[in-house]
C-alpha cells in the first residue's frame, strides 16, 4: 500500500502536478473550489437490508428486442434471438442474451485480428522467398510471375484487384496479396451496402412532412450516418421541430436571436464584471481537442463568442472549465454539413463563406445550450451534480466488479481523482473526437443520455480496463494509467461494445437502484 510520504516524495522529485489534483475555474461570481480538499459533499446512502433482490416483472422478448435491436445490430445473432422470440423471458434470460451478444462480438473481433496477423506473417514469408529467388536466378522470377498471372486469370473476382495494382511490378504480385485485396474489397463492399441501407432508412424517415422522433431515436441509437448527422442532431436535441415546414423559419429566427445576443452582450467582455470570465475562456480554448482545429484563429473567435454569451445568459453557473470541450462535437458535425472532407479536423474553417460560419456558430450555440440545460447542476457552485454522479459511479462499480473497486480502495485511489473529468467533460478527454461523436449519437437517442446513461457508460468504461488496473500495484502508476487510458486507436467497434455493455448495466440497475447502493 502506497504511503502518503512516498507519494509526496514521488511528486516532489518529479516536479509534476499530482494526478487527480483538480483546480476548477468559474466565472467572476465563484471562487475556486476543490472537492478533494472539502471532501465529498454527498453522504453515502444507508445500507439496505440484506434481503434477496426481487426479479423484475416478466416481459416478452418482443418488447425487449424492440428496444435493443438497434443497439446490437450484429446480424449473426438475429436468427438465434428470433428463435426464442415467442417465449416469455425474465431478467436473468435477458441478461444472459445480452452477455452472449457482447461475447460473440468480442470473439468476432479476435478472429479478425488473428486472420490479419496470420495473413501478414504469410505475406512477409513469401516476400522473403521471392527476394531469395530474385537474388539466386532472375530467370525464375519470370516463371513465378507467369504462374501468378495464370492463377489470377483463373479467378474472375481477382481480376479487379489485379487491375487496380497494374502500376506495381508483376514480379512483386502474389496470390496472397490478391487474396487479401479480394478479402478487403469484399468486406468493404458488404460494409458499404450496410451503410447505404442505413442511410436510406434515415433519408426515408427524414423525408416525411413530420419526422417521427421516437423512430429517429431508435434508428440513431446504433449510430447516425455522417451525411444526415447534422439534421438528426438538431432534431434529437430539440433545436428543430419535427414538422418540416417549420424548420427553415425556426432556423432563421434562432440564428437571428443568437446574433442579437452577440450584439447586446459581447462588447461587455472587457467590463470589470465580465473580464475574468472572458479571460478564462480565452485561456481554455487553446487546450481543447483536436489540436489542428483549435489553432485556427477563426475557430477561437467563434468559440469565445459562444461560451461568453452562454455564461452571461446563465449566471447561476457562469463559465466553468470543461464547457469549452462540449462545443467541439456540435461545431465539427455542423461544419460537415457544408464540406466533403473526411477529416474535418484538418479543414481550414476560414475558407467557408461568412454566412455559413454564422449559421454553424448559431446552431452550435443552441444545441450546446440544450445539452447543458439537462446537466446544469454539473456546473453550478461546488458542482453538486458531478459529485453525486462520481459517488454513484463508485457505488455501481463496487457492485458490478468488487475486485476492481477493492483494488482501487486498497491503493487509496479516489474516484474523484479520475472520474471527475469523465463527468465534467463527458469522456471527451478520454477518447478520440470521432468516438465522442459516435457516443453522442446514442446519448441524444437515450432519455437523459448525457446525465443518466452516461453513468453506466463510465462504469463500463472503467471495468473495460480491469486487467491492467489489477496488474498495477502502485498508487502513482494506477492514477497515471487511469488519467491516460490507451484509446487513441479506438473506433466505432470499441464504442459499440462499450455502449452495449452500458445498456446491459442500465437494464440491470436503472430500475433497481438498491442494487448499487451500499
Along the chain (518 residues), what's the average pLDDT of each consecutive run of 10 residues? 49 46 42 43 43 46 49 44 44 59 65 59 50 39 37 42 38 39 52 87 94 96 96 97 96 97 92 91 85 80 96 92 93 92 79 96 98 92 93 96 97 96 95 95 95 96 97 94 96 96 91 56
Inter-residue contact 258 to 362 (CB < 8 Å): yes
Beta-bridge partners for 49: none
Inter-residue contact 169 to 145 (CB < 8 Å): no
pLDDT at 270: 86
b/e string for 241-253 if b means 16 or more Cβ within 10 A?
beeeeebeeebee
Which residues touch 58 (CB under 8 Å, ≥6 apart)?
A: 88, 89, 90
Helix (H) or strand (E) holding 88: strand 88-89
Owner of C-alpha cell 509526496: 8
pLDDT at 273: 86
State pTM to two decimals: 0.66
Q: Which three cell numbers stand for residue 261?
A: 445576443
Q: Is 135 helix (H, G, I), strand (E, B) or coil?
A: helix
Number of H helices, E strands in the chain: 24, 2
Which residues touch 485 (CB under 8 Å, ≥6 apart)?
A: 430, 465
pLDDT at 165: 38
pLDDT at 510: 73
Neighbours of 104 (CB within 10 A): 15
Which residues touch 447 (CB under 8 Å, ≥6 apart)?
A: 453
The answer, yes or no, to whether the previous bond of 290 is cis (omega within 30 of 0) is: yes
What are the helix (H) ranges across 137-174?
Answer: 138-154, 156-164
Helix (H) or strand (E) holding 389: helix 384-400
Amino acid at each position: 500500500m502506497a504511503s502518503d510520504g512516498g507519494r509526496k516524495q514521488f511528486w516532489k522529485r518529479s516536479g509534476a502536478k499530482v494526478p487527480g489534483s483538480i483546480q476548477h475555474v468559474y466565472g467572476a461570481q465563484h471562487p475556486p473550489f476543490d472537492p478533494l480538499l472539502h471532501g465529498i459533499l454527498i453522504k453515502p446512502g444507508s445500507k439496505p437490508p440484506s434481503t434477496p433482490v426481487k426479479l423484475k416483472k416478466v416481459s416478452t422478448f418482443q418488447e425487449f428486442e424492440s428496444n435493443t435491436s438497434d443497439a446490437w445490430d450484429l446480424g449473426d445473432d438475429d436468427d438465434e434471438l428470433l428463435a426464442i422470440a415467442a417465449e416469455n423471458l425474465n431478467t436473468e434470460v435477458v441478461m444472459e442474451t445480452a452477455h452472449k451478444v457482447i461475447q460473440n462480438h468480442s470473439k468476432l473481433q479476435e478472429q479478425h485480428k488473428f486472420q490479419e496477423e496470420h495473413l501478414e506473417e504469410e505475406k512477409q514469408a513469401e516476400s522473403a522467398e521471392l527476394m531469395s529467388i530474385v537474388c539466386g536466378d532472375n530467370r525464375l522470377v519470370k516463371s513465378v510471375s507467369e504462374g501468378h498471372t495464370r492463377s489470377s486469370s483463373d479467378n474472375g473476382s481477382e481480376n479487379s484487384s489485379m487491375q487496380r495494382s497494374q502500376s506495381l511490378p508483376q514480379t512483386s504480385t502474389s496470390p496472397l496479396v490478391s487474396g487479401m485485396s479480394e478479402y478487403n474489397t469484399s468486406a468493404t463492399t458488404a460494409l458499404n451496402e450496410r451503410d447505404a441501407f442505413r442511410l436510406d432508412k434515415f433519408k426515408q424517415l427524414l423525408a416525411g412532412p413530420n419526422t417521427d422522433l421516437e423512430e429517429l431515436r431508435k434508428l440513431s441509437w446504433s449510430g447516425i450516418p455522417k451525411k444526415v448527422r447534422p439534421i438528426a442532431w438538431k432534431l434529437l436535441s430539440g433545436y428543430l421541430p419535427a414538422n418540416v415546414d417549420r424548420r427553415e423559419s425556426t432556423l432563421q429566427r434562432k440564428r437571428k436571436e443568437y446574433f442579437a445576443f452577440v450584439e447586446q452582450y459581447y462588447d461587455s467582455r472587457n467590463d470589470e464584471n465580465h473580464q475574468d470570465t472572458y479571460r478564462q475562456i480565452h485561456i481554455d480554448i487553446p487546450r481543447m481537442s483536436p489540436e489542428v482545429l483549435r489553432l485556427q484563429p477563426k475557430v477561437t473567435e467563434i468559440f469565445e463568442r459562444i461560451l461568453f454569451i452562454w455564461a452571461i445568459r446563465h449566471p447561476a453557473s457562469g463559465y466553468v472549465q470543461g464547457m469549452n470541450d462540449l462545443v467541439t462535437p456540435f461545431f465539427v458535425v455542423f461544419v460537415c454539413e457544408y464540406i466533403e472532407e473526411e477529416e474535418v479536423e484538418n479543414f481550414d474553417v476560414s475558407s467557408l463563406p461568412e454566412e455559413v460560419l454564422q449559421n454553424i456558430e448559431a446552431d452550435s450555440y443552441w444545441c450546446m445550450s440544450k445539452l447543458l440545460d439537462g446537466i446544469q447542476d454539473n456546473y453550478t457552485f461546488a458542482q453538486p451534480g458531478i459529485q453525486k454522479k462520481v459517488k454513484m459511479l463508485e457505488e455501481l462499480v463496487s457492485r458490478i466488479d468488487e475486485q476492481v473497486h477493492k483494488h482501487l480502495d486498497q491503493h487509496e485511489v479516489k474516484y474523484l481523482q479520475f472520474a471527475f473529468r469523465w463527468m465534467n467533460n463527458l469522456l471527451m478527454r478520454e477518447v478520440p473526437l470521432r468516438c465522442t461523436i459516435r457516443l453522442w449519437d446514442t446519448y441524444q437517442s437515450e432519455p437523459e443520455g448525457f446525465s443518466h446513461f452516461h453513468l453506466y457508460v463510465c462504469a463500463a468504461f472503467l471495468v473495460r480496463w480491469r486487467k491492467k488496473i489489477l496488474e498495477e500495484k502502485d498508487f502513482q502508476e494506477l492514477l497515471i494509467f487511469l488519467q491516460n487510458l490507451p484509446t487513441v486507436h479506438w473506433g466505432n467497434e470499441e464504442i459499440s461494445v462499450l455502449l452495449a455493455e452500458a445498456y446491459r448495466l442500465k437494464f440491470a440497475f436503472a430500475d433497481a437502484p438498491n442494487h448499487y447502493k451500499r
